[in-house]
A and B are shown apart, each in its own frame.
Chain A
Amino acid sequence: MGWAIALHGGAGDIPVDLPTDKRAPREATLRRCLDLGVAALKAGRSPLDVVELVARELENCPYFNAGRGSVLTTNGTVEMEASIMDGTSKGCGCVSGLTTVVNPISLARVVMEKTPHIYLAFDGAEAFAREQGLETRDQSYFITEQNIERLKQAKEANRVQIDYTQPQPIKEQAIPRSEGDSQIGTVGCVAVDRNGNLASATSTGGLVNKMVGRIGDTPVIGAGTYANTICAVSATGKGESIIRNTIARDVAALMEYKGLSLKDAANQVIANAPKGTVGLVAVTDKGDVAMPFNTTGMFRACAVEDGHSEIAIW
Chain B
Amino acid sequence: MAKWAIAIHGGAGVDPNLPEQRQEEAKRLLSRCLQIGVDTLKARQSAVDVVELVVRELESDPMFNSGRGSALTAKGTVEMEASIMDGRQRRCGAVSGLTTVKNPVSLARLVMDRSPHSYLAFAGAEEFAREQGVETVDNSYFITEENIGMLKLAKEANTILFDYRIPLPGADTCSASVGSLVPDTSLQMNGLPISIYSPETVGCVVVDSTGNCAAATSTGGLMNKKSGRIGDSPLIGSGTYACDLCAISCTGEGEAIIRSTLARDVAAVMEYKGLNLQEAVDFVVKERLDEGQAGLIAVSRNGEVACKFNSNGMFRGCATEDGYMEVGIWE
Contacts and interface: CB of A to CB of B under 8 A. Distances in A.
A80 to B, nearest CB: 13
Nearest to A122: B122
B176 interface: no
A48 to B, nearest CB: 15
B42 interface: no
Given A96-B121, A220-B236, A116 B163 contact: yes
Chain A interface SS verdict (over half): mixed
B230 A221 contact: no
A124 B238 contact: no
A91 interface: yes
Which range holds the interface residue count of chain B? 35 or more
A221 B123 contact: no
Contacts of A240: 116-118
Contact of A257 (B119, B227, B272): B272
Contacts of B97: 121-122
Contacts of A243: 92, 118-119, 236-237
A98 B127 CA distance: 18
A90 B273 CA distance: 22
Interface in B72-126: 90-92, 94, 96-97, 115-126
**A91, A96, A215 pick with most chain B CB within 10 angstroms:** A215
**B163, B237, B254, B269 pick with most chain A CB within 10 angstroms:** B237
A253 B268 contact: yes
B158 to A, nearest CB: 10
A94 interface: yes
Interface of B: 90-92, 94, 96-97, 115-128, 163-165, 190-191, 222, 225-231, 235-238, 241, 254-255, 258-261, 264-265, 268-269, 272-273, 290
6 contacts: A96-B121, A122-B121, A214-B120, A220-B119, A243-B118, A246-B237
Nearest to B259: A90
B128 to A, nearest CB: 7
A160 B117 CA distance: 10
Interface in A145-165: 160
B191 A116 contact: yes
Contacts of A92: 258-259
Given A120-B226, A222-B238, A249-B237, 15 more contacts: A117-B225, A117-B229, A121-B97, A123-B228, A127-B227, A128-B228, A160-B116, A174-B116, A211-B120, A213-B127, A249-B265, A250-B268, A253-B264, A253-B265, A258-B273
Contacts of B229: 117, 119-121, 124
A115 interface: yes
A213 B121 contact: yes
Contact of A222 (B190, B222, B237): B237
